[in-house]
């Protein structure tokens, strides 16, 4: 199985590790724009060294209650980082919902658009259709500011699955090749702790859809709810969740802790007859 991302055909015969690179003022430095960019690039290079297959560059926080960022500011944050990394040999993903940011990122060389809003912002689908980038369509109930207020489902697995398949079909209808699409059930996005784990436990159901499945649970609050640990102490819970996602057949795992997740991947691979 492959995921076609522009010129890159990602081989999904083993799970790929997507390393998270946040380009936000608070993540790395309190210096100026240059420091912020330099720190993000340095971090990305470290993640490559640790074994990341894909780098996910994000300039806007989608955590509940986070401040919104303007189009101009988001472009200012992510574009220089993408330009610096575009020839590093790894696939470059941009984590955004804004069509203008997608267009700027694609122009700068990004291979993947990773959208927690599944290309629902006006103009987003058109930007993606005009290029050949890979796209990750994620499910979210509500909007980041309020999504955790009252998650509501009759059957979370069925409803998320139906949403994602509808969205994939619609994107295909408007011209996104099937081989370019990846789906993500959106762990932590408008779901209770129980609902998040119901999705994780049913990863195989999503894998059976035939589309590549991306899972992102790294450091998320549901892991904190179960372990009683703060964000900085959720590495073991994150790697445990990543391993469960791999065992369920997920092909792309989005993580902060690349080195530790690669160790888990190596152990997992020994139980399959596959090679790195």
By the rule CB under 6 A, 117 interacts with ligand YH5: no
Q: For ligand YH5, which is the closer residue by CB, 127 or 237?
A: 237
Decide: helix, strand or coil at residue 53. Answer: coil
Residues 42-81 contacting ligand YH5, CB under 6 A: 62-63
Chosen residue from 221, 240, 247, 260 binding ligand YH5 by CB under 6 A:
221
CB under 6 A: which stretch of 43-51, 120-128, 145-153, 183-191 binds ligand YH5?
183-191
By the rule CB under 6 A, 216 interacts with ligand YH5: yes
Shortest Cβ 58–ligand YH5 spacing (Å): 7
Chosen residue from 219, 237, 253, 257 binding ligand YH5 by CB under 6 A:
219
Angstrom distance (rounded) from CA 198 to CA 105: 34
CB under 6 A: which stretch of 45-53, 150-158, 182-190, 267-275 binds ligand YH5?
182-190
The two structure tokens encoding residue 97: 């919902």
**Does residue 90 have an active-site annotation?**
no
Q: For ligand YH5, which is the closer residue by CB, 8 or 21?
A: 21
By the rule CB under 6 A, 262 interacts with ligand YH5: no
By the rule CB under 6 A, 254 interacts with ligand YH5: yes
| Residue 270 exposed, middle or buried by CB count within 10 Å (0-12, 13-18, 19+) | exposed
Selected catalytic residue, list 180, 191, 220, 234: 220
Total chain residues near ligand YH5 (CB under 6 A): 18
**How many residues does the structure list for the chain?**
276
Pair 180, 5: CB distance under 8 Å: yes
Determine how β-strand 252-255 pairs with β-strand 16-22.
parallel
By the rule CB under 6 A, 111 interacts with ligand YH5: no
Angstrom distance (rounded) from CA 54 to CA 119: 20
User: Among all residues, whose Cβ is closest to ligand YH5?
Assistant: 216
**Does residue 254 have an active-site annotation?**
yes
Decide: helix, strand or coil at residue 230. Answer: coil
Q: For ligand YH5, which is the closer residue by CB, 62 or 131?
A: 62
Cβ contacts of 31 within 8 Å, gap of 6 or more: none
Residue 39: other Cβ atoms inside 10 A: 18
Pair 251, 15: CB distance under 8 Å: yes
CB under 6 A: which stretch of 68-76, 147-155, 172-180, 184-192 binds ligand YH5?
184-192
Pair 215, 20: CB distance under 8 Å: no
Selected catalytic residue, list 254, 266, 272, 275: 254
Q: List, in sequence order, every beta strand (DSSP E) within 1-85.
A: 2-5, 8-11, 16-22, 54-58
Positions in the binding site for ligand YH5 (CB under 6 A): 62-63, 95, 114, 116, 136, 138, 184, 186-188, 214, 216, 219-221, 231, 254
What residues are annotated to the active site?
220, 254
């Amino acid at each position: 199985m492959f995921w076609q991302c522009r010129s890159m055909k990602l081989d999904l015969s083993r799970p790929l590790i997507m390393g998270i690179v946040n380009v936000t003022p608070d993540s790395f430095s309190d210096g100026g724009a240059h420091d912020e960019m330099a720190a993000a690039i340095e971090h990305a290079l470290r993640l490559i060294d640790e074994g990341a297959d894909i780098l996910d560059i994000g300039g806007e926080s989608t955590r509940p209650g986070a401040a919104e960022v303007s189009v101009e500011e988001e472009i200012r944050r992510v574009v220089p980082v993408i330009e610096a990394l575009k020839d590093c040999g790894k696939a470059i993903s941009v984590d955004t919902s804004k069509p203008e940011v997608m267009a700027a990122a694609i122009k700068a060389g990004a291979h993947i658009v990773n959208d927690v809003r599944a290309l629902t912002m006006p103009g987003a689908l058109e930007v993606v259709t005009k290029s050949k980038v890979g796209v990750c369509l994620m499910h979210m109930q509500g909007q980041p500011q309020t999504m955790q207020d009252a998650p509501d489902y009759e059957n979370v697995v069925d409803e998320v699955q139906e949403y994602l398949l509808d969205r994939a079909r619609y994107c295909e209808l408007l011209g996104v090749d099937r081989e370019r699409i990846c789906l993500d059930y959106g762990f932590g996005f408008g779901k209770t702790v129980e609902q998040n784990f119901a999705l994780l436990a049913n990863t195989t159901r999503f894998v059976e859809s035939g589309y590549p499945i991306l899972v992102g649970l790294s450091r998320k609050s549901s892991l904190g709810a179960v372990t009683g640990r703060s964000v900085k102490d959720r590495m073991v819970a994150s790697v445990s969740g990543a391993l469960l996602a791999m065992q369920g057949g997920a092909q792309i795992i989005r993580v902060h802790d690349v080195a530790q997740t690669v160790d888990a991947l190596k152990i997992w691979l020994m139980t399959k007859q596959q090679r790195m």
